[in-house]
Homo-oligomer: A and B are copies of this chain.
Amino acid sequence: MDALLLSVVEREPLHGYAIIEALRERSDGALDVPTGTVYPALRRLERAGYLAGEWAVAGGRKRRTYRLTDSGRAALAGERSAWKSFTTAIGSVLDPSR
């Protein structure tokens, strides 16, 4: 989750609702993350210093827009690397060729 959230706000800051939609679109519908997962996770990442949240108002609706910090950018790089070695490890076990 952390990697997904950090990755989706990498290019441009987004608010929670938009993040959920972006996740769904980028994954072609495969990733449909509930609000009960995303909102607490965003706060967690903000507490960790990886995201910086800021309130904004657009069309009468309040939004909390999250921006990737430098620290978050470093964390994302780590997450990507960890994800890669993780899938490699799992793959080497799951792959029926062995």
Contacts and interface: CB of A to CB of B under 8 A. Distances in A.
A75 interface: no
Contacts of A94: 3-4, 7, 79-80, 83
Given A26-B98, A87-B87, A98-B26, A93 B10 contact: no
Nearest to A98: B26
Nearest to A76: B94
A12 interface: no
A96 B68 CA distance: 14
B8 A93 contact: yes
Nearest to A3: B94
Interface of A: 3-4, 7-8, 10, 23, 26-28, 30-31, 79-80, 83, 85-90, 92-94, 96, 98
8 closest A-B pairs by CB: A30-B89, A27-B89, A26-B93, A7-B94, A4-B93, A27-B92, A31-B89, A87-B87
